[in-house]
Amino acid sequence: NGANTQSINVSQAGNVVVTVTNANGCTDIEQVAVQQFEAAVAVITGEEAICQDEQTTLTASGGSTFLWNNSETTPSITVGAGTYSVVVTNANGCSATTTKIVVENELPTFAFTSNATCNAQLNGYSLTISTSDGNSVSASEGTVSPNGNGSFSILDVPSGKNVTITVTSASGCRVSTIVNAPDCACPSLAAPVSGGNLQICEGDELPRLTVQNDDENLLIDWYNAPTGGSLLASASNAFTPNAPGTYYAEARDAVSGCQSSVRTAITLTANVRPKVEVVAVEILLVQTM
């Protein structure tokens, strides 16, 4: 190539011919074949962002041996957030270096703004949480309703079922929590207060049996037995029987349908009328002078 230095840089494959002349003027010619190997191409694949406290797997390719900046020599490494570089060497001894940065995204946060509360029908419950704008909320039971400004209500969760709530950030990081179902069992309802037992004479018109009830949310149902039995009248504070006997009043919540644990017995008694017998009496009148 015309160079007259002891060393030269060669950038292409081919034959290099060098002529060497010593101090006496003697010369020698040598030919060297320069081979060009394929360059190594280092590539790292794997997640560039992970969630807090998570790890990811980075995998290097493009060579046969690997040396990471954490001293690992395997193609794949499992790491947390940080900067990772690898030197990849191929079978011809050519090397290349590449770097990947793994960043850590924070987990979303949330707070309960209302506790799990049973609905009026006692067949389900609801609760409310608050989180940052941009986060999404899902639930394993019930319906999620956004209220705006990061507030979400979880509605109509079936009574007796726990619900798993998951909050997901815009970066895809998520946190979950389990809410235990509250006790939505019927409360204890007092039996109705009797309006009193009644008595009539046989053949009299049958009167109404009554209970005292000033609560418009309580309905009174009438039965012919202390438990079970047949429903004779519904949602009435008074009941007119079709015969003397003992009847039973049960309180029922108008919304939840919960019933009093016992029924109030009210008795209508028909007393036998007395019988009157007329006896003929002879009267002897004696006239005296």
Q: Decide if 283 is inside a domain.
A: no
Residues of the chain with pLDDT below 70 are 1, 281, 283, 285-289
Judge if 174 and 219 occupy the same domain. Answer: no
How many angstroms separate the CA atoms of 80 and 238, rounded?
75
The domain boundary residue, chosen from 152, 179, 206: 179
Which tokens sit at 186?
């019927």
pLDDT of residue 1: 67
Question: How many structural domains compose the chain?
Answer: 3
Judge if 118 and 101 occupy the same domain. Answer: no
Q: Decide if 25 is inside a domain.
A: no
Judge if 168 and 199 occupy the same domain. Answer: no
Q: Decide if 67 is inside a domain.
A: yes
Q: Decide if 170 is inside a domain.
A: yes
Judge if 267 and 209 occupy the same domain. Answer: yes
Q: Decide if 201 is inside a domain.
A: yes
Q: Decide if 83 is inside a domain.
A: yes
How many angstroms separate the CA atoms of 171 and 54, rounded?
14
Which tokens sit at 184?
């939505």
Question: Going by C-beta distance under 8 Å and a sequence separation of 6 or more, which residues neighbour residue 289?
Answer: none
Nearest residue to 124 (alpha-carbon basis) of 162, 158, 153: 158
> Residue 152: enclosing H or E segment and its boundaries?
strand 151-158
Judge if 99 and 116 occupy the same domain. Answer: no
Q: Decide if 185 is inside a domain.
A: no
Q: Decide if 53 is inside a domain.
A: yes
- Residues linked to residue 20 through DSSP beta bridges, in sequence order: 28
Domain that includes residue 90, residue range:
43-105
Judge if 159 and 226 occupy the same domain. Answer: no
pLDDT of residue 174: 96
pLDDT of residue 288: 65
Question: Going by C-beta distance under 8 Å and a sequence separation of 6 or more, which residues neighbour residue 256?
Answer: 120, 121, 122, 186
How many angstroms separate the CA atoms of 116 and 106, rounded?
27
How many angstroms separate the CA atoms of 181 and 187, rounded?
16
- Please tell me the total number of residues recorded for the chain in this structure: 289
CATH of the domain at 175: 2.60.40
How many angstroms separate the CA atoms of 69 and 140, rounded?
43
CATH of the domain at 206: 2.60.40.10
> Residue 15: enclosing H or E segment and its boundaries?
strand 14-21
The domain boundary residue, chosen from 55, 70, 105: 105
Judge if 73 and 87 occupy the same domain. Answer: yes
This prediction has a pTM of: 0.67
Residue 218: count of CB within 10 angstroms of its CB: 19
Surface-to-core class of residue 127, CB atoms within 10 Å of its CB (0-12 exposed, 13-18 middle, 19+ buried)? buried
